[in-house]
Amino acid sequence: MNIIDFLNEQKKWTESKYNLWKAYHSDYEEYKHWQYHNPNVKTQNALEAKILRQTHVIEKGMSLSHPREKFGVQKATELLDFIGEFVECGYNIKDSAPVMNALGVLRAYLAYHEERGFKPEEVLKKFEKYSMYLLEKEQYGIVEVNKAEMEKKVRGSFPDFFMSRHSVRQYSERTIDVEDIEKAVKLAMKAPSACNRQSCKVYFYKDKDVNKELGNLIAGNTGFDGEVQNYIVVTSDMSAFYDSFERNQVYVDGGIFTMALVEALHYYGIASCILQNGEYKERNLKFKEICKNIPENEKIILFIAIGYYKDNFTYAVSHRKNLEDVLIIR
């Protein structure tokens, strides 16, 4: 390479680094402004997101095989405070599917504890002012499922199959067959990726000690880590992308791939629960230390807790928003 080509290459690289810094700074400013921890953000979507997250904590607790006794009182009280904030901001409860879902889950939560001889009085008192909004016919909280009935849907129409998959936090004690993982990953590899670069990889560890160490560090598995047979690690290769406009592509491709993977696992009788990976540098270094074989150029996107379905199990209903809140036609 002659000196002119070398200087031009260095110039392009310097410009690329500057553009990358500028793009990440823009991301920082946007996220700082719009995240719902910002006390100035009071949009309906932001308040609903906060309510949805808190609601899920409660219904998730009810979906465990062995929930902690008298769990969730503080979380339920906080959820009712969030609903109060929603009303104070002038938004209508009846027009909000997330708030109606929250109230339904709170009703299911109170009934759950009442069946076990416990009445969380503070929650009950706050809940009473909103109870008139609920319809008796709607089911909230958790659903009990028979595996044989679920398998009929898995082998049914595509909508039946797709709607039969849920995040499950109860697993049988049966050891995972590596062949089932191989079959599921082979299907997931059909997932689209940016320019067919196929940046994602799947790490599956048979070693019980590795899975135990991962379970101790992963967030979101409290209360069911002891039932997880294995953790899958999904990564995306940063070196598959270039320039600032592809800075988030590892997450886009990783998310698309993961959706295909959990559906494929479901098809082969393996229950799953996706667990996010927070971008904390120290924790991610520890994850790679535990896994040992994940290269530096691969970003850990998320983890998936897996195990074969039990003959009978429960899952959180997790009602979705209304179609008109998601599909905008003009």
Dump pLDDT digits (tens) for 88-125. 999 999 999 999 999 999 999 999 999 999 999 999 99
> Which residue pairs, CB below 8 angstroms and at least 24 apart, start in 44-51?
44/86, 44/89, 44/91, 44/96, 47/82, 47/85, 47/86, 47/89, 47/91, 48/86, 48/96, 48/98, 48/99, 49/98, 50/82, 51/79, 51/82, 51/83, 51/86, 51/98, 51/99, 51/102
For the stretch 232-269, pLDDT in tens is 999 999 999 998 999 999 999 999 999 999 999 999 99
Is the pTM for the entire model greater than 0.85?
yes
For domain 145-314, give its CATH number from 3.40.920.10, 1.10.3720.10, 3.40.109.10, 3.30.360.10.
3.40.109.10
